[in-house]
Chains A and B, each alone.
Chain A
Amino acid sequence: DIQMTQSPSSLSASVGDRVTITCRASQSISSYLNWYQQKPGKAPKLLIYAASSLQSGVPSRFSGSGSGTDFTLTISSLQPEDFATYYCQQSYSTPEGFGPGTKVDIK
């Protein structure tokens, strides 16, 4: 099975900050990588699919990049509603596992 790791596991940031979260796969997954946002008590929300494709309705301050084993999610200017946990997910092979998550909270 492909193992997914994320760094950092948590971070504190201020409104307006540029935030970068990294996801790494244990083997090459081409561009088969998704990013989700989850707020407490809510279902996850798809932000980015296929490494860099922005899901419809998601603000353009979110962007994704990478291929192979290393990927990043960038929030260009953190907004109050962005404080949440972010998960990556590989879509290259079954089981389509998630990373352990990165919690973004207020500094």
Chain B
Amino acid sequence: EVQLVESGGGLVQPGRSLRLSCAASGFTFDDYAMHWVRQAPGKGLEWVSGISWNSGSIGYADSVKGRFTISRDNAKNSLYLQMNSLRAEDTALYYCAKSIWGSYPPVAFDIWGQGTMVTVSS
């Protein structure tokens, strides 16, 4: 079964750091680009960051650039998001998503995890 499972979310104080992980299974992980998408409670979708199959191409939303770092370990079939200097506006459900292509760009996400909730509050 093709599956993405996120972990690492939780309650964190403003200014602190958190690292999200996404474990992939059921497909050849290193054939595809991977992305993080977030959704604040009751709000729409926001693309956060993406990484190509070989980590050669990486992109970030302006709202997280300089604070978040995406990475992947193809040997471990895992995707990561290091989030530093967290702000209240980063509070959201963070989804890991698989692209239908190996390269990035372009993007189209055919497999999504169930998300991990990040709450930034004092």
A residues bordering B, Cβ < 8 Å? 1, 32, 34, 36, 38, 43-46, 49-50, 55, 87, 89, 91-101
Q: Which residues of A lie under 8 Å from residue B47 when comparing CB positions?
A: 89, 95-98
Q: Which residues of A lie under 8 Å from residue B109 when comparing CB positions?
A: 34, 36, 44, 46
User: When A89-B107, A96-B105 are in contact, do A43 and B46 touch as well, CB less than 8 Å?
Assistant: no
Q: Chain B interface: which size bin?
A: 20 to 34
Bound CA–CA A92/B63 (angstroms): 19
* Interface: B114 (CB within 8 A): yes
* Interface: B88 (CB within 8 A): no
Q: How many A-B residue pairs have CB under 8 A?
A: 68
Question: Would you call B61 and A95 a contact (CB within 8 A)?
Answer: yes
Q: Which residues of A lie under 8 Å from residue B44 when comparing CB positions?
A: 87, 98-101
Bound CA–CA A95/B114 (angstroms): 22
Seed contacts A43-B95, A50-B108; 10 additional CB < 8 Å A-B pairs: A1-B62, A36-B45, A43-B115, A44-B45, A46-B100, A91-B105, A92-B106, A95-B59, A96-B107, A98-B44
Contact of B107 among A44, A91, A101 (CB under 8 A): A91
Contact residues of A: prevailing secondary structure: loop
- Of the candidates B60, B62, B108, B109, the one having the most CB atoms from chain A within 10 angstroms of its own CB is B108
* Interface: B9 (CB within 8 A): no
Contact of B108 among A1, A91, A100 (CB under 8 A): A91
Mask of B4-40 contacts with A, CB within 8 angstroms, 1/0: 0000000000000000000000000000000001000
Mask of B63-80 contacts with A, CB within 8 angstroms, 1/0: 000000000000000000
Question: Would you call A96 and B45 a contact (CB within 8 A)?
Answer: no
Question: Would you call B108 and A49 a contact (CB within 8 A)?
Answer: yes
Q: Which residues of B lie under 8 Å from residue A91 when comparing CB positions?
A: 105-108
Q: Which residues of A lie under 8 Å from residue B95 when comparing CB positions?
A: 43-44
